[in-house]
Amino acid sequence: MNFATETLEDVLPKSLPRRLKDAHKGNFGHVLVIGGDVGYSGAARLAGIAALRVGAGLVSIATHPENTAMMNIACPELMCHAVETVEKLELLLAKATVIVIGTGLGQRDWAKMLFHSALETHKPLIMDADALNLLAQFPCKKENWILTPHVGEAARLLSVTTKAISESRFDLARTLQRKYGGVALLKGAGTLIASENSLAISKTGNPGMASGGMGDVLSGVIAGLVAQGLSLKEAAEQGAYGHGFAADEAVKNDGERGLLASDLLPHLRRWVNS
């Protein structure tokens, strides 16, 4: 199959339309973030806040019971739910427009239960972090998802070395998409977004992004855009661009070293309204 290779700045979709005067939260989708095992609540929180900051109408978090009471202390707009059983997760899945799974999920039995349950839904999925590591263990192909691996996760998904990914990023981004379907977003310097017939490249972003939590924010951004009606391809491309753009804005005054994932959040709001 021949792929068209494009630079994101050339193919970036138009901005989200201006909101009508009588708009309400139900018009802008409901993001469900599944993740946050014990000790990793911050990852799910970052994804949820990022989805809100780019305009999702509602965000729910399905998390480990030990995290529920503190998950939304810093952001009361997040609706947090203790999930111990498949039945409890299914109730949340039924209400969601789009699902993010993997942020701080872990790979214990609890995580595997949530992973397999989420894969049964027909709703769009944003797969990140440990959801990708579990996918490498239980491979399948779907057309209604976006995979967002970094180099190490991509290597596990394709059973190759990280060196191979780094040396053949273009070819292996395409291979990821062909093997798993949907949209494959390979993170890194020059993030690549492979869809069925195209490969896009983002030139935004900087080395300050080499810190924990950046991928969680990206997953939330993409989910928030899907919730508002963008296609998976558009959301992955525009999300990668906006994520890097926000990071570039965040380092203008204070430099790259010490950049935190949460530093991107106010810039994401400005970007999505520009």
Hey, where are the domains in the chain? 4-11+26-272
pLDDT at 166 over 90: yes
User: Residue 17: its pLDDT value, please?
Assistant: 81
Average pLDDT over residues 234-239: 96
What is the DSSP secondary-structure string of 234-264? HHHHHHHHHHHHHHHHHTTTT-STT--GGGG
**More confident site: 171 or 13:** 171
pTM here is: 0.96
* pLDDT tens-digit readout, 132-154: 999 999 999 999 999 999 999 99
What is the DSSP secondary-structure string of 28-58? G-EEEEE---TT-HHHHHHHHHHHHHTT-SE
CA dist 76 to 10, 40, 61, 91, Å? 38, 18, 12, 21
Judge whether 238 and 13 are in contact, CB under 8 Å. yes
User: Residue 52: its pLDDT value, please?
Assistant: 98
pLDDT at 43 over 70: yes
Strands 98-101 and 125-127: parallel
pLDDT at 1 over 50: no
The token duo for 72 is: 């939304």
DSSP H helical segments within 138-213, as ranges? 151-158, 162-167, 169-180
Q: Which among 183, 179, 176, 187 has a CA at the least distance from the CA of 223?
A: 183
pLDDT at 11 over 60: no
In this structure, how many other beta carbons lie within 10 angstroms of the beta carbon of residue 199?
Answer: 19
Model confidence band, residue 7 (pLDDT cutoffs 50, 70, 90): confident
* pLDDT tens-digit readout, 81-112: 999 999 999 999 999 999 999 999 999 999 99
Task: Fill in the DSSP letter of residue 209.
Answer: G
pLDDT at 15 over 70: no
CA dist 152 to 54, 133, 188, Å? 28, 10, 11
* pLDDT tens-digit readout, 111-127: 999 999 999 999 999 99
- CA 150 remoteness from chain centre: 12
* pLDDT tens-digit readout, 172-220: 999 999 999 999 999 999 999 999 989 999 999 999 999 999 999 999 9
CB-based contacts of 41, cutoff 8 Å, min separation 6: 63, 64, 67, 70, 71, 104
Judge whether 183 and 224 are in contact, CB under 8 Å. no
* Domain 4-11+26-272 fold: UDP-N-acetylmuramoyl-L-alanine:D-glutamate ligase (3.40.1190)
Average pLDDT for the chain:
94
